[in-house]
Structure 1
Amino acid sequence: MTAQPEAPGTDIPTPSPFVPRPASGPWDVTTLLLDFAIITYAVPPEALARHLPPDFEPDTFVLKDGRRVAFVSAVPFRDEEFRFGFAPFFRARMGQTNYRAYVRYRGERAVWFFGTSLDSFWVGVPRSLWKLPWHPARMRFQTRWSGEGGPCEHYRLDTQGTWGRAELELVGTETPMGCLDGFRDEEETAVVLTHPLRGFYTRRDGRPGTYSVWHERLRLHRAHVHVARFQVFEELGLTTPESVPHSALVQRSTEFIIFLPPRPL
Structure 2
Amino acid sequence: MNKIETLAFSDGLLSRKPPTGIDVDTTLAHFAIITCLVNPDAVRQQIHPRFHLDLIKVDGREWALLSVVPFVDQDFRFSKISWPKWRFGQTNYRIYVTDSETGAHVAWFIGTSLDSWTVSVPRHLWKLPWHRANIQFDCEFDTSAKRYTTYRMQTTNSWADAHVELTDTGNPPTELKGFDNLESGLVLLTHPRMGYYFRRDGKLGSYAIWHDRLQTTVGNVLTARFDLLDRLGIVERGKIFNVHSVLIQNRTEFTIYLPPRIVESPAL
How far apart, in 1, do the equivalents of 2:138 and 2:7 lie?
40
How far apart, in 2, do the equivalents of 1:219 and 1:160 lie?
30
Alignment of 1:245-264 (within 5 A): 245-264=243-262
How far apart, in 2, do the equivalents of 1:25 and 1:100 lie?
26
Q: How much does 1:13 deviate?
A: 7.3
How far apart, in 2, do the equivalents of 1:161 and 1:88 lie?
32
Name the structure 2 match of 1:46. Answer: 41
Name the structure 1 match of 2:123. Answer: 127
Name the structure 2 match of 1:115. Answer: 111
Question: Which of the numbers 212, 217, 224 marks the counterpart of 2:208?
Answer: 212
Name the structure 1 match of 2:22. Answer: 27
Q: How much does 1:10 deviate?
A: 2.5
Aligned-residue CA RMSD in angstroms?
A: 1.8
Say if 2:31 is the partner of 1:36. yes
Q: How much does 1:239 deviate?
A: 1.5
Query: Aligned pair count?
Result: 257
How far apart, in 2, do the equivalents of 1:148 and 1:34 lie?
17
Q: Deviations over 1:127-146 (max 9, x none)?
A: 11111100000001000111
Name the structure 2 match of 1:222. Answer: 218
Please give the secondary structure, in 2, of the residue aligned with 1:123. Answer: helix
Say if 2:231 is the partner of 1:231. no
Say if 2:91 is the partner of 1:72. no
How far apart, in 2, do the equivalents of 1:15 and 1:206 lie?
33
Normalized against structure 1, the TM-score is what? 0.92
Name the structure 2 match of 1:10. Answer: 4
Name the structure 1 match of 2:92. Answer: 98
Q: Deviations over 1:48-98 (max 9, x none)?
A: 1122222122111111x1121010000000001110134322111000001
Aligned CA distance change for structure 1 residues 112 and 234 (closer, same or farther; 3 Å): same
> Structure 1: which 4+ aligned runs deviate by more than 3 Å?
11-18
Alignment of 1:149-188 (within 5 A): 150-188=146-184
- List runs of 5+ in structure 1 lacking aligned partners: 1-7
Q: How much does 1:11 deviate?
A: 3.2
8 Å Cα contact 2:8-2:184 kept in structure 1: no
Please give the secondary structure, in 1, of the residue aligned with 2:77. Answer: strand
Q: How much does 1:9 deviate?
A: 5.0
Q: Deviations over 1:117-173 (max 9, x none)?
A: 000010101111111100000001000111256111110011002311100001101
